[in-house]
Structure 1
Amino acid sequence: MATTSDPNQKTPLEIREIQELAIAISAKNINPTMLSQEFLKQTGIVPNEWELGKQPVLGPNLSQVTFQNGVSIVAQPRNITFMESIGTKNPSELNIPNIARQYVDKLSNAEYQGLSISPKSLIPFPGSENGARNYITRTLLSPGPWQDYGKAPVQAGLNLLYQLDRCQFSLSINEAKIQMPDQSSIPALLFAGNFNYNVGSNSPQEILEQLKKGIDDWSSDLKDFQEIVNQRFLAQQQESLFPGA
């Protein structure tokens, strides 16, 4: 069950949708030990004026650099992920699309294999302790005897796979919790999407061009994700999600 926290949120009634965007790039020869604040700044991947948000993690299997503006970069063998909270930002203000493109430009010989644009949306249910669970088990799934088994209400998640013209899109829907500053929590739904692009079967130059185009088109993926979540899943649930909105 996913958990997140936002110190800027004060009361349950103020909680609104929390969104995050991640851009993950896979390649044969990504080395986590190369990821550091110095490397990112010396290569021009991130601006020199960016300051660390917390102590970096550096290791052979995982390295992470987090900046004060909310951008986090995580490197693992064969994969590097750029993450950023959307919050109140206009999508055009997000940093990671440009940072991911800079990374590809600076390390053009990394033998790239794939690209994933992964938006997340955390939808609170402040008025109902079981609202998120009931949404999955009673709205998305048909009620039946399978729900009435065991000594506690059944928990469920949903994994969906869509074939789009440009790529394959997967969407998972699960229960989550939003952790409040006073240590209380609010039930929520986590929508996690993945737009997966396979680029590894082309020539090196074609791979780079396709990879950059996929990164540059990130806003279309985010827009499609938001439309699917808000219009095709939650359009009939707005009053229960945000009473009085």
Structure 2
Amino acid sequence: MGFNFVVQDSAIAIAAADLNPAMLNLDILRYSGVVPADWELSRAPVYTPRAAQIFFENGINIVAEGNQVVIVEPLEGDLDLQAPRLAQQYVRAFPKLQYQGFTTNLRGYLPTDYPAGRYVCDTWLAPGPWQEGCARAALNLIYKGDRAPLQLALTEAMLQTKQGETIPIVLFGGRYGYAVQSENVEENCDYLTSCFGHIREDVEHYTNTVNQKFIQPSLRLMREAQPQRVLSTVS
């Protein structure tokens, strides 16, 4: 496995004060044009009094629970997103809901060859006495965006590959939040559908931020450190 940053998945969570999970019904989604009629299910939908979940063959899941409906889309590096269009269609299909806003949540990871829990400390944090006995470090940062700030969380974890191998990774969790500003439901629908149209740009902002501020600098540090490791080995 190469040591490259991979955007794993996205989740668009739409919040509405009067949303009812029972509204998430496969027939309704198809008849209203939220999902294409030819999309096949990967397994039977799950319906309970408090939640509903629908699974499609292409990997997209739609979940309704509480006052939120969440559209989850696997990416694995492919940024040709379908979820924003589904979100637009959902809001257009249910224009009378009291929408509050939405968040776009992104998950990506960087495989490493470091001991578990050491990459963040050894790569992006200054050495010092505070590191003694530190088993693991996490970072929470906020970056300016064109339309909404990026909340970025860095943590370390273990990933099980398809080959059954377990490798250490750094997780990069990104979040963009948009809240409606009007009490007029039509204006809120227009605002949300417009914001959904910019999700691709937010995803690009997220990937550029991670690559430019973390991945590329850390690779340069590794290349600079390599000759020193060779010299120390020879001596």
State the TM-score, normalized to the length of structure 1.
0.81
Of 20, 41, 53, which aligns to 1:31? Answer: 20
Corresponding residue for residue 180 of structure 2: 199
Give the number of equivalent residue pairs.
222
2:208 is aligned with 1:210:
no
Aligned to 1:110: 97
- In structure 1, the gaps of 5 or more residues are 1-11
Structure 1 position 129 matched with structure 2 position 115: yes
Which of 17, 38, 57 does residue 46 from structure 2 map onto?
A: 57
Instruction: Give yes or no for contact 1:70–1:85 (8 Å, CA) kept in 2.
Output: yes
Distance (Å, rounded) in 2 between the aligned partners of 1:136 and 1:168: 23
Letter matched to residue 138 of structure 1: D
SS in 2 for 1:234: helix
* Alignment CA distance shift 1:59-1:15 (3 Å): farther
Deviation at 1:117, TM superposition (A): 1.8
SS of the residue 1:128 aligns to: coil
SS in 1 for 2:13: strand
Aligned to 1:142: 126
Runs of 4+ in 1 over 4 A off after TM superposition: 13-16
The worse-fitting range, judged by mean Cα deviation, of 163-172 and 229-238 is 163-172
Residue pair 2:5, 2:211 contacting (<8 A) in 1 also? no
CA RMSD of aligned residues (A): 2.3
The alpha-carbon deviation at position 180 of structure 1 amounts to 2.1
Query: Secondary structure at 2:217's aligned position in 1?
Result: coil
- 1:140-179 correspondence to structure 2 within 5 Å: 140-149=124-133, 154-164=135-145, 166-179=147-160
Q: Secondary structure at the match of 2:169?
A: strand
C-alpha spacing 1:171/1:15, structure 2 compared with 1 (3 Å): closer
Q: How far 1:107 sits from its partner (Å)?
A: 0.3
How far residue 231 of structure 1 moved from its aligned partner, in angstroms, is: 0.6
Aligned to 2:210: 229
Determine if contact 2:159/2:169 at 8 Å carries over to the other structure.
yes
Looking at structure 2, the residues matched to 105 and 129 of structure 1 have their Cα atoms a distance apart, in angstroms, of: 49
SS at match of 1:207: helix
TM-superposed deviation, 1:163 = 4.3
Give the whole-Å Cα distance in 2 for the aligned partners of 1:85 and 1:144. Answer: 39
1:81 CA drift (Å): 1.0
Q: Looking at both structures, which has the greater relative contact order when contacts are Cα pairs under 8 Å and sequence separation is at least 6? A: 1
> What TM-score comes out, normalization by structure 2 length?
0.85
Structure 1 letter corresponding to 2:95: S
**Residue 202 of structure 1: how far off its partner (Å):** 4.4
Q: Deviations over 1:178-208 (max 9, x none)?
A: 2123433111111111111111444222211
1:233-244 alignment, distance < 5 Å: 233-238=214-219
**What do residues 96-154 of structure 1 show as CA deviations (whole Å, max 9, x unaligned)?**
111111000000111100121222211111x3333xx32311332223333323xxx51
Q: Which has the larger radius of gyration?
A: 2
Residue in structure 2 matched with residue 120 of structure 1 by the alignment? 107
